[in-house]
């Protein structure tokens, strides 16, 4: 993997560049489409290609459970398995330490509101993941069987899954976890980072896979900066910036980190995909983003337009024969009406998920492409202001 910065935006941390992988080039900033189980939900690989996606991210935990990493390896890696021939990434399973652990069965998401109370993080009954210094024990959400994920086993699994870029094993903490826990977890994630690097170097003697270390530290400046410094010195090929955040200060937390991380390495903001967050993160120096939001929200009937989100299931769209968005060039908008989408959603037809995912992914991919262009053109802030004032109805 080779990262090149082609243009920086004066007075900010923003930059535009390229990442060359053995499976193709990614023009950054870029939005990474999520294909957790070696499929972008509701879409064929051909549709993902048609959308102009540059890179797909799958998940180690999910592929480990199903169909198993041996199958994926025999298939020639997850890209080949799913017929995606471009650049690929895998997440390490570290996020599942959170989503199946502290977050399981609760209303807490990795992006919390600013007034979310700090909570006790002791394990609750029923949660499927528990973190120790050794690794994370998972109880499969599919059949209840038990697994221990360690930095070493995550690296082995990611090696077999075969993506171009992989992540070190980390713990994604809850935004509501107390400072003491964030600190303790950060130390552990640092130890896991070293173990991940070591394990990966043994497996990948020809340096075929790039490995990204993950910066944690919650919403605490001291921890974020410490993580950026210590991880930055470990010599990863790139860096991931992980949750957890407060809704209002994603950009702040990211800029703490990116001021310190080595400039010449790509930075991937993990799991962020709201338009405003993307603008803020690009401005704060991130190069890659992945997010399930466009696909999940699409499946649930929430669609992006330049005038904000709309819920296509709302009664007002039943006889609205205009496209989701007038000037949108996506397949859905050039072929179908809001009324048709509303009908498909109400009728529980699978095609609803497909058409909605196509539109939302198209929207986000084009948005990030325009951000990239605006960095080259030097009008990033004008573009940001114009977009946000319309999308968020700002004055």
Partner RNA sequence: GCGUCGGUGGUAGAGUGGUCAAUUACAUCAGACUGUAAAUCUGACGCCUUCGGGCUACGGGGGUUCAAAUCCCUCCCGGCGCA
Provide the 10 A C-beta neighbour count for residue 7.
14
Based on the shown chain and the rule CB under 7 A, indicate whether residue 272 belongs to the binding site for RNA.
yes
Task: For residue 96, state whether it binds RNA (rule: CB under 7 A).
Answer: yes
Q: Which stretch binds RNA (CB under 7 A): 19-27, 229-237, 295-303, 333-341?
A: 295-303
Minimum Å gap between C-beta 97 and RNA is: 8
Q: How far is the CB of 101 from RNA (least distance, A)?
A: 10
Minimum Å gap between C-beta 243 and RNA is 5
105 belongs to the binding site for RNA (CB under 7 A): yes
Exposure pattern of 233-252 as b/e (b: 16+ CB <10 Å)? eeebbbbbbbbbbbeeebbe
Find out whether the peptide bond into 341 is cis, omega within 30 degrees of 0. Answer: no
Q: Which of 1, 17, 26, 62 binds RNA (CB under 7 A)?
A: 62
Angle separating helix axes 380-391 and 350-377, nearest 10 degrees:
150
How many residues sit close enough to RNA to count as binding (CB under 7 A)? 60
Contact pick of 95, 181, 256, 363 for RNA (by CB under 7 A): 95
Pairs from 139-142 (Cβ < 8 Å, separation ≥ 24): 139/100, 140/65, 141/100, 142/65, 142/66
Q: How far is the CB of 368 from RNA (least distance, A)?
A: 13
Active site residue 248: no
Please tell me whether residue 31 binds RNA under the rule CB under 7 A: no
- Does the footprint of RNA cover residue 14 (CB under 7 A)? no
Long-range interactions of 317-324: CB distance < 8 A, separation 24+: 317/341, 317/342, 318/342, 318/343, 324/359
Cα dist from 59 to 12, 95, 211, 269, whole Å: 32, 9, 15, 16
How many Å from the N-terminal Cα to the C-terminal Cα in the chain?
43
Which position has the token pair 């010599």? 235
> Interface with RNA by CB under 7 A: which range of 16-24, 76-84, 166-174, 194-202?
166-174
Backbone angles phi and psi of 149, in degrees to 5? -100, 130
Pick the binder of RNA from 7, 183, 296, 366 (CB under 7 A): 296
Q: Which of 70, 83, 91, 307 is catalytic?
A: 91
Smallest separation, CB 86 to RNA (Å): 17
Are 363 and 338 contacting, i.e. CB atoms less than 8 angstroms apart? no
State the Cα–Cα distance between residues 202 and 194, nearest whole angstrom.
13
Footprint of RNA on 119-158 (CB under 7 A): 141
Q: Which residues bind RNA (CB under 7 A)?
A: 34, 36, 40-41, 57, 59, 61-62, 91-92, 94-96, 98-100, 103-106, 109-111, 141, 167, 170, 172, 214, 216, 240, 242-243, 247, 270-274, 277, 290-293, 295-297, 299-302, 311, 313-316, 318, 346, 348, 350, 353
Q: Which residues are catalytic?
A: 91, 290
């Amino acid at each position: 993997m080779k990262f090149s910065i082609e243009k920086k935006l004066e007075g900010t941390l923003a930059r535009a560049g390229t990442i060359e992988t053995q499976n193709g080039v990614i023009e950054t900033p870029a939005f990474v489409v999520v294909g957790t189980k070696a499929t972008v939900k509701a879409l064929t690989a051909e549709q993902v290609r048609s959308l102009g996606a540059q890179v797909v991210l799958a998940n180690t935990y999910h592929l480990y459970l199903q169909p198993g990493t041996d199958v994926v390896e025999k298939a020639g890696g997850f890209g080949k398995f799913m017929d995606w021939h471009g650049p690929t990434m895998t997440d390490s399973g570290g996020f599942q330490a959170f989503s199946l652990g502290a977050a399981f069965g609760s209303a807490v998401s990795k992006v919390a509101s600013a007034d979310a109370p700090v909570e006790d993080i002791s394990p609750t009954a029923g949660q499927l993941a528990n973190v120790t210094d050794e690794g994370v024990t998972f109880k499969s959400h599919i059949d209840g069987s038990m697994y221990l994920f360690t930095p070493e086993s995550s690296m082995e699994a990611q090696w077999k899954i075969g993506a171009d870029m992989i992540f070190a094993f980390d713990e994604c903490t809850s935004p509501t976890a107390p400072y003491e826990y964030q600190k303790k977890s950060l130390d552990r994630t640092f130890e896991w980072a070293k173990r991940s690097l070591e394990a990966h170097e043994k497996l990948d003697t020809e340096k075929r896979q790039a490995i990204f270390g993950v910066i944690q530290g919650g919403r605490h400046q001291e921890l974020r900066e410490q993580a950026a410094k210590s991880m930055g010195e470990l010599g990863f090929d790139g860096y991931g910036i992980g949750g957890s955040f407060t809704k209002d200060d994603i950009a702040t937390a990211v800029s703490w980190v990116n001021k310190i991380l080595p400039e010449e390495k790509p930075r991937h903001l993990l799991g962020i995909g709201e338009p405003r967050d993307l603008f803020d993160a690009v401005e704060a120096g991130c190069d890659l983003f992945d997010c399930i939001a466009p696909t999940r929200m699409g499946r649930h009937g929430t669609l992006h337009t330049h005038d904000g989100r709309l819920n296509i299931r709302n009664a007002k769209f039943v006889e609205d024969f205009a496209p989701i968005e007038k000037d949108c060039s996506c397949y859905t908008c050039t072929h179908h009406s809001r009324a048709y989408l509303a009908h498909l959603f109400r009728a529980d037809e699978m095609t609803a998920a497909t058409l909605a995912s196509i539109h939302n992914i198209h929207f986000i991919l084009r948005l990030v492409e325009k951000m990239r262009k605006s960095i080259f053109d030097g009008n990033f802030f004008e573009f940001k202001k114009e977009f946000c004032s319309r999308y968020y109805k700002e004055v």
